[in-house]
């Protein structure tokens, strides 16, 4: 196994591993260590069947169903994330942490590229440990006592789901709301991370929307500064696995008229503290 760091902030590519094969306990542990150190890891050349993709996910965590989109036939935890040639919005095309509106947001997510456009379609990732650590002492002290209200129905993210809900949506979709600390402690590393995001965080608990807006707008801009990010260019067969507890992501919507098809698995997490 060879690990190549992708940027100064986060991200590493792992080479020399075929995820379609049964992995030894030593290899699984090594992948896990790289994942925790670099927050998002990438593999190339992984031509996995849904069963092989699920088998790897099971070595890393417990796959769970996504609330709004139906999974593949026989694999309800594997959803198709796609943008078709005639569509204008890409699924989840805004900076976010996955499903922060759930009481127990996912530990991580895996995305496997099936079809990629001839140009564009990269994904950006941002390190939320560094986002928190680069704040002033005074602001960190204030944020320590705040709780965020997160919603699944904020307008900017809702419109990115419209095409997929129209074709693959679940009939029982509803609004989800959850309260989480603005600063969460990672359950495995013990590091603190900023845990708000522009897609889902609506306001602070005990604050009005108007009172919350200036501070949230500052945090939303701060947490995705270029020096906190990396950018990943997909190939067919590329696989990304990111830590949803300390990293955000944003798929870039710059390939209108082309097709992009990915398979995604979400891994169960715990209540943020």
Mean pLDDT of the chain: 94
| Region 240-267 average pLDDT | 97
pLDDT digits 0-9 by tens, 57-67? 999 999 999 98
Distance CA 53, CA 72 (A): 12
Please report, for the chain, how many H helices and E strands are present, in that order.
6, 16
Q: Domains in the chain and their CATH numbers?
A: 2-264 (3.60.130.10)
pLDDT digits 0-9 by tens, 193-218? 999 999 999 999 999 999 999 999 99
Res 169 pLDDT > 70:
no
Give CA angle at 235 (234, 241), nearest 5°. 55
Confidence band of 135 (pLDDT split at 50, 70, 90): very high
Res 131 pLDDT > 70:
yes
Active site residue 98: yes
How confident is the model at residue 172, as a pLDDT? 56
Of 3, 41, 32, 25, residue with least CA distance to 242: 41
> Residues for the chain: how many in total?
273
Pairing mode of beta strands 229-232, 123-127: antiparallel
How confident is the model at residue 173, as a pLDDT? 61
Rg, the chain, Cα only: 18
Distance CA 117, CA 250 (A): 17
pLDDT digits 0-9 by tens, 7-22? 999 999 999 999 999 9
Distance CA 186, CA 196 (A): 14
Q: How distant, in Å, are the alpha carbons of 75, 91, 164, 168, 261 from that of 79?
A: 8, 12, 10, 9, 10
How confident is the model at residue 158, as a pLDDT? 56
Q: Per the structure block, which two tokens stand in for 37?
A: 């150190």
How confident is the model at residue 92, as a pLDDT? 85
**Active-site option among 38, 245, 249, 260:** 249
| Region 113-138 average pLDDT | 98
How confident is the model at residue 67, as a pLDDT? 85
How confident is the model at residue 153, as a pLDDT? 86
Res 183 pLDDT > 80:
yes
**Active-site option among 98, 161, 186, 245:** 98
**Active-site option among 96, 186, 245, 263:** 96
Res 164 pLDDT > 60:
no
How confident is the model at residue 126, as a pLDDT? 98
Active site residue 249: yes
How confident is the model at residue 171, as a pLDDT? 53
Share of the chain above pLDDT 90, in %: 88
Active site residue 96: yes
How confident is the model at residue 55, as a pLDDT? 97
How confident is the model at residue 109, as a pLDDT? 97
pLDDT digits 0-9 by tens, 85-125? 999 889 889 999 999 999 999 999 999 999 999 999 999 99
How confident is the model at residue 224, as a pLDDT? 98
Active site residue 180: no
Distance CA 39, CA 37 (A): 6
């Amino acid at each position: 196994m060879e690990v190549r760091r992708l940027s100064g902030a986060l991200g590493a590519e792992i080479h020399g591993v075929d995820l379609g094969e049964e992995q030894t306990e030593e290899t699984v542990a090594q992948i896990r260590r790289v994942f925790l150190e670099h927050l998002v890891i990438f593999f190339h050349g992984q031509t996995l069947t849904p069963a092989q993709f699920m088998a790897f996910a099971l070595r890393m965590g417990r796959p769970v169903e996504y609330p709004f989109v139906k999974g593949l036939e026989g694999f309800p935890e594997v959803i198709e994330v796609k943008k078709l040639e005639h569509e204008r919005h890409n699924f989840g095309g805004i900076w976010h942490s996955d499903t922060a509106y759930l009481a127990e947001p996912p530990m991580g997510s895996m995305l496997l590229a099936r079809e990629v456009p001839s140009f564009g379609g990269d994904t950006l990732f941002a390190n939320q440990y560094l986002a928190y650590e680069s704040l002033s002492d005074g602001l960190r002290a204030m944020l320590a006592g705040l709780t965020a209200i997160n919603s699944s129905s904020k307008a900017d993210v809702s419109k990115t789901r419209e095409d997929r809900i129209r074709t693959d949506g679940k009939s029982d979709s509803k609004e989800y709301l959850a309260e989480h600390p603005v600063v969460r402690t990672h359950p495995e590393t013990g590091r603190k991370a900023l845990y708000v995001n522009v897609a889902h965080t609506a306001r602070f608990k005990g604050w009005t929307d108007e009172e919350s807006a200036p501070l949230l707008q500052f945090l939303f801009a701060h947490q995705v500064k270029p020096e906190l990010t990396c950018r990943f260019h997909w190939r067919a067969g590329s696989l990304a696995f990111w830590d949803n507890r300390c990293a955000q992501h944003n798929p870039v919507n710059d390939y209108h008229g082309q097709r992009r098809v990915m398979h995604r698995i979400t891994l169960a997490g715990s209540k943020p503290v």
